[in-house]
């Protein structure tokens, strides 16, 4: 029993390219590359959470075979450098006081990220494999520091190929896009998704029907690990999964979070409220309208005067109507938040 | 040897070795067409002729100074900036770096290169460059050693706004160099103006479609790849708009036996210049006083409106702080978004003017109570998730979890932790199984309890 992995999303992680759910075309392209044993730098573009990194790292492992350990590195561009890493970069950047000139004795900014995280890896010679592979997640988060990759990708290109990963290509500077083959990573399709969920259900001896799978697909926004989380939560007490179970497990998530959003709104803190709502939208893939519904539900539980309640419902209704045709969830939600914040003194 | 060659990415494998191998892009200097190959060759040849003269004169001056009294001392002379350095400016992947290496190869010279990935300190730059440039004493004797050419690649990338120390270093280098200097850049950068003013600038144009197709076909022939129609080659070239590197990358991908790359999809992706958007957003929020001014501003820009209003949405709270202003601004922006949706849905293009006025002027002119922030405001990219820094308990939890399951911190916080919290709060048994499996200590266990 001890060896049993208790978290399904980990238990059912794919361990090679063939096990990746759906995305046939992309997989075949990647397998073709492995056969030819050569590829240019690559840029993986696709929405958040659909498996870009999983695919990239499984690909890299398969490509490198048994030599992957020493030759593969994954770095996260959006994770700030640690104190030690920054200290290291600083010591490299210190301009000696013996130099003459206005900046003597000062530290000068430099591409610390490239210096500390990238260069040491790409410069060390590849062992046994055709070349090393460096995977950079959230590449767009590097902003101006992307510049530092330009010649690096060329000069060390034969020693190390890069797979850059981003959710939005507009955040990647042109000269970098120019240096990469771009791959669009699509969302998993419903059929493949269904197959995966059915096979998990079989192994866990669950009973669930097609409609439930579809709801699961929608609720998770096609994010597989999210879907498996929901599935696991829905089966805590019962092996038969009904639509209702799924909804309940979804709601368990919502309660605490929507409440914390309301608290911030009551303080009239728009910036903070926006931050929280964005997190909610991103994490649970709600549409603006779903979020409005939950807000309304929670508001109903609060002791408000009739007048205030009516005005708040009015605001939410207005926002809801606008969101029908609106294109951008975030804008529509922010609009409601700004109104509620303005009104916060009455709440 | 053949083994390593097969492993090269094609863009390196097909980097031209000689000017004769490459399609010379057309170029302009101070408004006149120039032949880039000739221009550069002459620049380098001239440099060595001139510097020789200068060195001889300076030698005499030094001789003279040695015997002269203090007030008779003469100053050494220097070669003018224009004769010592030349700047190549142009879009990515059109052959700037390549032409420099090809030229050096043809003239039997070594290239000393520095670029945006190098440490951007004056100290480091000097160290790297001075090794070769300042040692004129030795170099004068070592006639037989190969001549050198200095390439400062990607100047626009090397110098972010904060790296002021570097421009004087480069200027100083240009003044004292014993070797010709070529600089490359993608675009004009304000911070480099003092440099640009002094040296000769050549604008390098993208290759013509015809040239690009020729090169693409040559690559395909050399790789013995058939089955790509001339129409498809043309589509690839067209999609990449003169960026030869991108063309060759695409070819390598197709050759992998994969199908046609996502040409159509890629064509639809926007890649507006971020810089332009930055300044536009600033102007919009900080300078615009009337609806008309706002309108002029958006009309003038090439930035896709589809995209622009998201930037407005992202940056709005950085410029306005008072809740009443915010409410008005969002009212206009959300209406703009609704209208935009209707335009798209029903093709009501007649509504477009309202959309413009609302998201630009309507938003920025809502600023009544908020004090005008005149100073520098950092512009943010439209994005929903930003990474947060973890506290120490969160950090140790992340570390524990990562031993069993590799998950980056933002996904842990947004996605996985809330799930673990719900799961473990469902029963004591679950809580125990989870914390046992991840081997959590008491402090970390606490984090599984949602508040
Ligand atoms: N004029 C050309 N003739 C032949 N090949 C070319 C030419 N221009 C570019 N290429 C191909 O494209 C690749 C990239 O070109 P290069 O590195 O010179 O671009 P660049 O102008 O320096 O770009 P960046 O501004 O992004 O550094 C070369 O390795 C070569 O394969
Ligand atoms: Mg270049």
Q: Is residue B32 within a helix (H) or strand (E), and if so which, with residue range?
A: strand B32-34
- Verify whether ligand 1 is closer than 6 Å to residue B98 (CB atom): yes
For the segment B337-357, the average pLDDT, to the nearest whole number, is 82
Question: Is residue A90 predicted with pLDDT exceeding 80?
Answer: no
B48 is in which domain, residue-wise?
A: 24-204
For the segment A101-117, the average pLDDT, to the nearest whole number, is 55
- Verify whether ligand 1 is closer than 6 Å to residue B97 (CB atom): yes
The β-bridge relationship of strands A42-45 and B181-185 is unpaired
Residue to substitute from B277, B351, B385, interface A, most A β-carbons within 10 A: B385
- Asked if residue B426 is part of any domain, the answer here is yes
pLDDT grade for B1, boundaries at 50, 70 and 90: very low
Calculate Rg over the CA atoms of chain A. 25
Question: Is residue B389 predicted with pLDDT exceeding 60?
Answer: no
Residues B294 and B224 in one domain: yes
Residues B174 and B224 in one domain: no
Residues B191 and B292 in one domain: no
Question: Is residue B110 predicted with pLDDT exceeding 90?
Answer: no
- End-of-domain residue from the set B204, B220, B254: B204
pLDDT grade for B422, boundaries at 50, 70 and 90: confident
* Percentage of chain B exceeding pLDDT 70: 79
Domain A256-347, CATH number (from 1.10.1270.20, 3.40.50.880, 1.20.272.10, 1.10.10.10): 1.20.272.10
- Interface membership of B265 toward A (CB under 8 Å): yes
- Verify whether ligand 1 is closer than 6 Å to residue B206 (CB atom): no
* Structural domains in chain B (count): 3
Ligand nearest, relative to CA of residue B24:
1
Residues of chain A contacting residue B309, judged by C-beta atoms under 8 Å apart? 328
Output the average pLDDT for chain B: 80
- Interface membership of B435 toward A (CB under 8 Å): no
Whether A74 contacts A48, CB under 8 Å: no
- Verify whether ligand 1 is closer than 6 Å to residue B186 (CB atom): yes
- Interface membership of B73 toward A (CB under 8 Å): no
- Asked if residue B82 is part of any domain, the answer here is yes
Residues B180 and B256 in one domain: no
Residues B223 and B196 in one domain: no
Q: Which of A98-112, B202-216, B244-258 has the least mean pLDDT?
A: A98-112
Distance separating the N- and C-terminal Cα atoms of chain A = 52
Token digits of residue B209 = 């479609």
CA atoms within 13 A on the CB side of B445: 13
What is residue A91's predicted lDDT score, i.e. its pLDDT?
64
B185 CA from centroid of ligand 2 (Å): 8
CATH number of the domain residue B161 falls in: 3.40.50.300
pLDDT tens readout for residues A181-213:
889 898 899 999 999 999 999 999 988 888 889
- Asked if residue B315 is part of any domain, the answer here is yes
More confident of the two residues B174 and A347 = B174
Q: Which residue of A has its CA nearest to B329?
A: A335
Distance CA B420, CA B449 (A): 9
CA distances from B290 to B162, B322, B376 (A): 34, 20, 22
- Interface membership of B324 toward A (CB under 8 Å): yes
Residues B61 and B176 in one domain: yes
- Verify whether ligand 1 is closer than 6 Å to residue B189 (CB atom): no
What is residue A259's predicted lDDT score, i.e. its pLDDT?
76
Question: Is residue B260 predicted with pLDDT exceeding 60?
Answer: no
Look at residue B86 and give its three-state secondary structure.
strand
Residue nearest to atom 24 of ligand 1 (CA): B92
**Please, what is the Cα angle at B140 between B135 and B142, to 5 degrees?**
95
Nearest-by-Cβ selection for A335 from B162, B330, B450: B330
Question: Is residue A81 predicted with pLDDT exceeding 80?
Answer: no
- Verify whether ligand 1 is closer than 6 Å to residue B14 (CB atom): yes
- Asked if residue B385 is part of any domain, the answer here is no
Residues B199 and B254 in one domain: no
Ligand nearest, relative to CA of residue A174:
1
Domain boundaries, chain A: 23-80+112-184, 256-347
pLDDT tens readout for residues A12-24:
999 899 999 999 9
Kindly report the nearest CA distance between residue A96 and chain B, in angstroms. Answer: 7
- Verify whether ligand 1 is closer than 6 Å to residue B219 (CB atom): no
Question: Is residue A262 predicted with pLDDT exceeding 90?
Answer: no
Kindly report the nearest CA distance between residue A306 and chain B, in angstroms. Answer: 23
What are the phi and psi torsion angles at B154 (to 5°)? Answer: 55, 45
Residues B198 and B235 in one domain: no
What is residue A107's predicted lDDT score, i.e. its pLDDT?
39
Whether B333 contacts B359, CB under 8 Å: yes
Residue to substitute from B338, B345, B362, B390, interface A, most A β-carbons within 10 A: B338
Residues B198 and B225 in one domain: no
Indicate the pTM of the whole model: 0.65
pLDDT tens readout for residues B206-249:
888 889 999 999 998 988 877 777 877 887 888 777 889 888 88
Distance CA A102, CA B62 (A): 29
C-beta atoms of A150 and B121 within 8 A: no
- Asked if residue B10 is part of any domain, the answer here is no
A23-80+112-184 belongs to CATH 3.40.50.720:
no
Residue to substitute from A2, A5, A7, interface B, most B β-carbons within 10 A: A7
Residues B399 and B367 in one domain: no
């Amino acid at each position: 029993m001890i060896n049993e992995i208790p978290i399904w999303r980990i238990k059912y992680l794919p361990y090679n390219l063939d096990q990746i759910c759906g995305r046939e075309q992309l997989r075949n392209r990647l397998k073709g590359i492995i056969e030819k044993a050569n590829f240019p730098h690559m840029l993986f573009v696709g929405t958040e959470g659909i498996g870009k990194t999983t695919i990239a790292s499984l690909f890299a492992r398969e490509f490198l075979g048994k030599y992957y350990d020493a030759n593969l590195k994954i770095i996260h561009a959006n994770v700030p450098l640690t104190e030690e890493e920054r200290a290291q970069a600083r010591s490299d950047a210190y301009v000696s006081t013996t130099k003459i000139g206005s900046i003597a004795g000062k530290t000068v900014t430099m591409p610390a990220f490239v210096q500390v995280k990238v260069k040491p890896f790409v410069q060390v010679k590849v062992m046994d494999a055709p070349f090393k592979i460096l995977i950079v997640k959230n590449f767009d988060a590097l902003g101006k520091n992307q510049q530092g990759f330009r010649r690096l990708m060329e000069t060390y290109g034969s020693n190390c190929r890069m797979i850059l990963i981003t959710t939005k290509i507009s955040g990647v500077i042109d000269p970098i896009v120019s240096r990469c083959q771009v791959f669009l990573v699509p969302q998993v399709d419903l059929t493949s998704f269904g197959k995966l969920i059915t096979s998990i259900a079989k192994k866990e001896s669950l009973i669930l029907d097609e409609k439930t799978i579809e709801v699961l697909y929608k609720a998770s926004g096609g994010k597989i690990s999210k879907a498996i989380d929901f599935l696991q939560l829905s089966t805590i007490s019962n092996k038969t999964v009904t639509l209702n179970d799924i909804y309940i497990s979804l709601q368990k998530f919502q309660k605490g979070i929507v409440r914390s959003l309301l608290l911030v709104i009551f303080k009239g803190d728009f910036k903070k409220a926006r931050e929280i709502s964005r997190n909610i939208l991103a994490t649970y893939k709600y549409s603006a309208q779903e979020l409005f519904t939950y807000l309304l539900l929670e508001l109903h539980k609060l002791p408000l005067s009739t007048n205030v309640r009516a005005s708040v419902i009015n605001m939410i209704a207005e926002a809801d109507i606008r969101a029908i045709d609106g294109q951008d969830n975030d804008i529509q939600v922010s609009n409601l938040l700004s109104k509620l914040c303005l009104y916060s003194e009455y709440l | 040897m053949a083994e390593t060659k097969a492993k090269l990415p094609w863009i390196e494998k097909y980097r031209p070795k000689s000017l004769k191998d490459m399609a010379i892009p057309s170029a302009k200097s101070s408004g006149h067409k120039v032949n880039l190959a000739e221009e550069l060759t002459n620049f380098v040849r001239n440099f060595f002729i001139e510097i020789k003269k200068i060195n001889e004169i300076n030698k005499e001056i030094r001789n003279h100074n040695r015997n002269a009294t203090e007030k008779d001392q003469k100053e050494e002379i220097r070669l003018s900036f224009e004769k010592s350095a030349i700047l190549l400016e142009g879009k990515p992947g059109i052959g700037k770096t390549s032409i420099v290496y090809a030229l050096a190869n043809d003239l039997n010279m070594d290239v000393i290169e520095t670029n945006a990935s190098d440490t951007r300190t004056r100290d480091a730059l000097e160290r790297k460059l001075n090794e070769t440039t300042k040692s004129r004493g030795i170099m004068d004797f070592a006639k037989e050693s190969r001549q050198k050419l200095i390439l400062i690649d990607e100047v626009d990338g090397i110098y972010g706004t904060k790296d002021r120390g570097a421009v004087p270093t480069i200027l100083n280098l240009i003044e004292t160099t014993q070797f010709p200097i070529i600089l490359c850049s993608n675009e004009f950068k304000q911070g480099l103006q003092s440099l640009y003013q002094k040296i000769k600038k050549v604008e390098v144009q993208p290759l013509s479609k015809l040239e690009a197709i020729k090169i693409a076909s040559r690559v395909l022939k050399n790789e013995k790849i058939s089955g790509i129609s001339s129409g498809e080659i043309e589509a690839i070239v067209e999609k990449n708009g003169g960026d030869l590197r991108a063309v060759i990358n695409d070819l390598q991908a197709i050759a992998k036996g994969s199908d046609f790359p996502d040409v159509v999809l890629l064509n639809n992706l926007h890649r507006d210049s971020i810089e332009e958007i930055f300044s536009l957003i600033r102007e919009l929020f900080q300078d615009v006083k009337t609806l008309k001014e706002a309108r002029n501003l958006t009309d003038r820009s090439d930035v896709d409106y589809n995209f622009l209003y998201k930037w407005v949405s992202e940056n709005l709270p950085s410029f306005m702080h008072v809740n009443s202003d915010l409410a008005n601004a969002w009212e206009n922006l959300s209406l703009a978004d609704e209208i935009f949706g209707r335009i798209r849905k029903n093709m009501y293009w007649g509504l477009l003017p309202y959309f413009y006025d609302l998201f630009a002027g309507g938003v920025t002119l809502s600023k009544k109570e908020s004090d005008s922030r005149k100073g520098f405001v950092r512009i943010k990219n439209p994005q929903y998730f930003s990474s947060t820094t973890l506290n120490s308990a969160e950090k140790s939890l992340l570390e524990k979890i990562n031993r069993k399951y590799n998950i980056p911190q933002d996904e842990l916080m947004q996605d996985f932790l809330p799930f673990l919290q719900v799961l473990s709060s469902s029963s004591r048994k679950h809580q125990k199984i989870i914390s046992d499996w991840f081997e959590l200590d008491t402090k970390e266990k606490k984090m599984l309890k949602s508040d």
